[in-house]
Each structure stands twice: as C-alpha cells, then as structure tokens.
A and B are shown apart, each in its own frame.
Chain A
Amino acid sequence: MKAIVSVIGKDKKGIIAGVSGLLSDMDVNIEDISQTILQDYFTMIMAVELKESKLSFTQISDKLSELGTKIGVEIKMQSQQIFDAMHKIAMVGNN
C-alpha cells in the first residue's frame, strides 16, 4: 500500500533523520519527499510504500505518532487513496 506521511511542527534539527531512520528500520521505502516552511511551520511530506514492511498499517502509523510525540512534531500517515480521492478528478482505477 502507498501512503503519505506528513510531518508538521516547529523546525529543529534532526527531524528528517529521525523520521527517515524510523521508516528504514520498519522496511518502509520512501519514494518521494518534499519539504517547505509554511507559516513558520516545518512541513515535510513523504510518499512511502509499505509492501516490504512486516508491520501492519496501524503499527507503522502508531510508531510514527510515538516518534512525533518524542521529538515534538505531529506525524500522520494516511493512505494515498484519500488524497487521490480529493485532489484528482479521475476516479476510475484510482480508488
């Protein structure tokens, strides 16, 4: 399954290293990554692929939230389907 990981919070060092390290430990592959500062907030969006991971969606999602709490940012993982549904006109084949 493909998913989008979003990381939002006050900018500080080590956010990218922490999140990508954890994803790598869980065998989650990062396919694309973008980063911006929106209204003083650090925003990182990662497109990830979960199929090689032995953990379930919920387990991965929980571990990411846990890390977020530890480093003081909000980390969410959502199925790519929700973004396809809202932001693409074409529906056939997508969801």
Chain B
Amino acid sequence: MYSSKEIIETINMVSRQHLDVRTITMGISLFDCITDSPARTADKIYDKIMRKAGNLVSVGNAISAEIGVPIVNKRISVTPISLITAASKGHEQAITALDKAAAETGIDFLGGYSALVHKGMTPYEKEFIASIPQALTSTGKICSSINVASTKAGINMDAVAMCGKIVKQAAYLTKDSDSSACTKLVVFANAVEDNPFMAGAFLGVGEADCVINVGVSGPGVVAAALKECQGDLSEVAEVIKETAFKITRVGQLVAKEASKRLNAQFGIVDLSLAPTPAVGDSVAQILEEIGLESVGAYGTTATLAMLNDAVKKGGTMASSHVGGLSGAFIPVSEDAGMIAAAKSGALTLEKLEAMTAVCSVGLDMIAIPGDVSEEIISAMIADEMSIGVINCKTTAVRIIPVYGKKAGDWATFGGLLGNAPIMEINRKSPLKFISRGGRIPAPAHSLKN
C-alpha cells in the first residue's frame, strides 16, 4: 500500500501540473507496400495502416482511462515515403491514401512524408521534395521531414538550398492560415529513426514492422517540484532527476501496455519534456524557477544544459529503452514562457540558436517575417545543421515565414501549435554562399575543440 502523500502526489501531477503523455506513436513499416504501380502502392499503404492502427485511438483512450493520465495525441509514423514510392513515382496517390487512413483511424498526426538526402539526392528525391508544399497544403494531419545533414556525411547544401525554397512555397500556399503548412515541415541534421514527436516523426529503415514509441511530457511537474526546492544547483539537479524518473515511468507503463494490446514491438520512450501553450506547462518556466528573470537572460544556456542532462539521468533508469530525441524542447509558439520572452524582446533568435547547442532539438516553431528570402532561410538551416553535425546531435529547423506579416505582428496556429510573435532576423545576404551548392564535408572528430 502506498502512503497518502504518494497517492496525492500522483493525482496532483495530473490535476494541477499538467502531467500527460504527449503521444503514443505507432511506427509502421511500409516496405512491403512497394510496387511499380502508383495505385496499387497507395492501396497497400492504406490497407496496412488500417490493419495495424485501426485500434490505436481506442486502445490509447482505454489505457488513459485506467491509469488516470491523459494521453493527448495518438500518432502514426511511417517509413519515409520517398523510399516507398521511388519505384512507382506515386507520391501523389500515396498522400491521398495517407490522408484517408489518418482520417479514418482518427489519429492526430501522421509523419513520414519524408526524404533522407544527407549525402545526395536521386532525381526522384528532388521531384519528391518539390511535392512537399502541395502535399502539406492539401492535407491536414500529414507531416513532413527532410534529413539534409549528418555527422558522418556532412551537409548536403544542394538540399539545404531546396529547403529554403519549399519552406517559402509552403508559406505562400497556406497564406490564409498564417502559413500553417510550415508548422508541419522539419529540416533535420542527424534525424533519429524512432522519434515519436511531430512534425519530424518517421520510422527508420532499421526498424521492425510495427513499433510503439511513446513521448512523455510534464514540464509543469518539474517546475512545481522546483518551486519547493531552495537548495543549491546540485540539489536542483537531483530534484529534476527524481521528477524525470517518475514522469518517464508513466511513459514506460503506457508504452508497455500499448505495445501489448496493439500487438506491436515496444520501441522506445522519448524523454523529451514537451511543453504546451497552457500556462504552467512550460520549459521556460523551469529555467525561470531555477533563477532567471526571464528565459533569454544570460544563464539560459547553462540552466537549459543542466535541465537537459538531469532529465536524461533520471529518465534512463526509468525506462527499459530510451530513444527518440530525448531532450528538452524549446518550441517558441508552443510554450507560454517562451512566447512571453519573445514578445518582450528578452529572447532573441541568436540566444535560441545557442540554446539548441545544448538541448534537443533546434530552431522550432519560430515565426519570422513573410518577406525573408529563401536563401536567408537556407542559411538559417545551414547554421543549425552545422551545430548538429559538429556536436554529433540531432538539430532541426521548423520556421514559419508568415506570409504578408512583419516583425511585431502575431501568428496563430491553434491547438498544441500555439501562437507566436513574429521575430525580426538578420537580413544580410548569404546568397553567394547558398548559390555555391555542393556539400560541406563531414567534420574531423579527433580534435575536439
């Protein structure tokens, strides 16, 4: 039997501190759907997703009711579609099949309209990447990602140049909804194969047929625990570790139950602390609880690095398999504390870039003026990719050049995606750099400064 204190602690985490499991993400391999016919490939994709994920939402809801913890999203990730449709060139039919399956299973997001081009692109992959803006505009739940760099391969600058273009196109095509298609598009360095979080989830080529990956949440729980802590930073780190352990155990329980009931392999628990726009569910609030007037102040990088490391230390023992991105998320529009700091000017893009060097995952959900040129966006991507490549970590860019809006205006995306002030950025031209194309070579990793 447990003490009343323990029972009440668990109940309060849910009712007062926004503890939730952010997502159960079912990874589905689509390799057995490859044919040379666009129509047949699309049919097989639809059938396989319905067969594997038909019960995903009801099972998720049942587990949530039994343990008394909300499971906010049920999601699907699939093998990168560019690999599945390379033989048939049937990506247009595939996107229709994915959209239909996403609607009929009742899931929240489906990720994997993706391409892996960190070293080079096939002619078909170029065609596929060019199709992404339209695919994201014509669907609601489909998410897309492109891996353009890796520590082993360097940075594919031809792909980076293309990404600047497609981000701008996606922004234009959804100009009536604050360029919302860009919220479903991520550019990666060192993308992981078992990420449950969107918009970057896809199922890697080394994965099993059907896998359950779970993403936890709970920045509010960490902040609440730190409120009680008046000790030094060693104690702060201990409190974060203990709290991360408990949060991760919830993820472990959900992943184990879901994989058993859905007849899928237990994949990983992702330790990332995912914020939401709700007050009290913020990563920024944790840094402020540690002792900063506002996120963005000097000390932000240090506190974030400590938080990220302590979460991993607490979380690793709590789960049998840890993976995915597993780090603190800092999406600007999805975190009330980050939104406030960006609005007041305390948080700048340069500081955000520094923060991405010590946590997952990158420049995330940042709204910038709609007239920023494609080469500037490509150069922003290149900078962020180089941080990932040099530091052997995943980095990503999900920025939204909000069509027709300028710095100081406001962009609203709704739901978990939140809203954000549009931030001004450095407009000096990187045109010549981006126009050169080619590859930035992979780094040497023996000389470590």
Contacts and interface: CB of A to CB of B under 8 A. Distances in A.
A78 B68 contact: yes
Considering the complex of A and B, which 4 residue pairs feature the smallest CB-CB distances, nearest first?
A: A78-B68, A85-B249, A82-B67, A85-B253
B6 A57 contact: no
16 contacts: A47-B1, A58-B62, A58-B65, A76-B68, A77-B68, A78-B67, A79-B66, A81-B66, A81-B253, A81-B257, A85-B249, A85-B252, A86-B10, A87-B246, A91-B318, A95-B256
B363 to A, nearest CB: 34
Contact of A91 (B66, B68, B320): B320
A34 B67 CA distance: 20
A38 B68 CA distance: 21
A8 B68 CA distance: 15
Contact of B6 (A61, A77, A83): A83
Contacts, number: 71
A57 to B, nearest CB: 6
B447 interface: no
Interface of B: 1-2, 4, 6-11, 62, 65-69, 246, 249-250, 252-253, 256-257, 318, 320
B323 to A, nearest CB: 17
Interface string A1-42: 100101010000000000000000000000010101010000
Contact of B250 (A4, A36, A85): A85
A45 interface: yes
B8 A79 contact: no
A43 B68 contact: no
Contacts of B11: 6, 8, 76
A69 B250 CA distance: 28
Nearest to B65: A58
B250 A83 contact: no
Given A85-B249, A91-B320, A6 B66 contact: no
Contact of B1 (A32, A43, A85): A32
Contact of B69 (A1, A4, A82, A91): A82
Interface of A: 1, 4, 6, 8, 32, 34, 36, 38, 43, 45, 47, 57-58, 61, 76-79, 81-83, 85-87, 91, 95
A66 to B, nearest CB: 15
A86 B250 contact: yes
B66 A83 contact: no
B66 A57 contact: yes
Contacts of A1: 66
B351 to A, nearest CB: 35
Contacts of A78: 10, 66-68
A1 B253 CA distance: 15
Contact of A79 (B1, B2, B7, B67): B67
A91 B2 contact: no
A77 B250 CA distance: 16
A83 B252 contact: no
B131 to A, nearest CB: 43
Nearest to A33: B1
A82 B253 contact: yes
Contacts of A79: 66-68
A58 B66 CA distance: 8
A18 B256 CA distance: 35
Contacts of B250: 82, 85-86
B252 A34 contact: no
Nearest to B319: A91
A1 B257 CA distance: 14
Given A34-B1, A36-B4, A86-B10, A81 B67 contact: yes
B4 A34 contact: yes
Contacts of B65: 57-58, 61
A7 B68 CA distance: 14
Contact of A87 (B2, B66, B68, B252): B2
